[in-house]
Amino acid sequence: YLLDGDEVSRQSDNGLAKIRNEKIGFIFQSFNLLPKLTAVENVELPLIYRGLSHKQRRKMAEESLGKVGLGDRIHHRPTELSGGQQQRVAIARALAGDPPILLADEPTGALDSNTGKEILHMMKQLNEQGHTIILITHDLSIANQAKRVIQLKDGKISEDRGNLA
Q: What homologous superfamily is domain 2-162 in, according to CATH?
A: P-loop containing nucleotide triphosphate hydrolases (3.40.50.300)
Burial class (CB in 10 A: 0-12, 13-18, 19+), 87: buried
CA 32 to chain centre: 11
Query: What are the two backbone dihedrals, phi and then psi, of residue 25, each rounded to the nearest 5 degrees?
Result: -100, 135
> In 3D, which of 99, 130, 94, 93 has the Cα closest to residue 19?
99
**pTM for the structure as a whole:** 0.85
- In Å, what is the CA distance from 121 to each residue of 31, 46, 143, 145? 18, 25, 13, 10
- Tens place of pLDDT for every residue, the chain, 165 residues? 888 888 999 999 999 998 998 899 999 888 999 999 999 999 999 999 888 999 999 999 999 999 888 999 999 999 999 999 999 999 999 999 999 999 999 988 877 888 888 888 988 998 999 999 999 999 988 998 899 999 999 999 999 988 654
CA pair distance 8, 12, nearest whole angstrom: 9
CA pair distance 65, 149, nearest whole angstrom: 29
N-term to C-term CA, the chain: 21
Ordered by start, the domain boundaries in the chain are: 2-162
CA pair distance 33, 42, nearest whole angstrom: 6
